[in-house]
Amino acid sequence: MNKLWNKTDEVARGMRKPINTAAISIMGMYTFIWGLWLALPWATFSRSPIYELMLSLAPEIVWGVAAMCIGALILWGVFSQTYKALVRGALAGFYYWFVISGFYLLGSWQSTGWINAFMVAVYCAFVAINLRVNKSSLHDNKETLKIRP
C-alpha cells in the first residue's frame, strides 16, 4: 500500500510541473477543428439523435463558431505565450466541453461520445489549474519559458 501511495504522490508532483505547450496546442487544435467541422455547410446534427438537444438550444453554426473561437484563443495563447489568453481559453474550453458532454449524456447515455467530451473538459480544467499553479512559466520540451501576464 505504501508503494501505491508513493506512486500517486509522484504522479501528483509531476502534474504540478509546468505544462508542455505542445499539449495545450493539441487541445486548441482539436477544439478548433471540431468547431470548423460543425460550421461547414453540411448538417452534422441531423445525422444523430444525440444532437437534438443541442440543436434546440442553438444551430450548428453557433456551436461551431464558439468552438473555433475557443480553439483560436488557446492557440493564440500558446503562440504569443500569453497567460490570460491561455487561462481564458482553457476555462472556456472546460465549460464548452462540459456542456457538450452533458448534452451527449442526455441524448444517448449509452454512447461513448459523452465520455470523450467529458475527458476533454477534464483536460481543459487541468490545463487551467496547471497554468494557475505555474503562473509564470510554461514547459517547452527543452526549457522552461517565461510567459507574459
pLDDT, position 130 = 87
Decide: 35 and 71 in contact? Cβ < 8 Å: yes
Q: Which residues contact 148 (CB under 8 A, 6 or more apart)?
A: 80, 81, 82, 83
Give me 96's grid cell: 464548452
- Give the predicted TM-score (pTM) of the model: 0.83
CA distances to 45, 65, 75, 104 from 33, rounded to whole Å, are 16, 10, 12, 19
The string of pLDDT tens digits covering residues 26-50 is: 999 999 999 999 999 988 888 888 8
Q: Which amino acid is at 128?
A: A
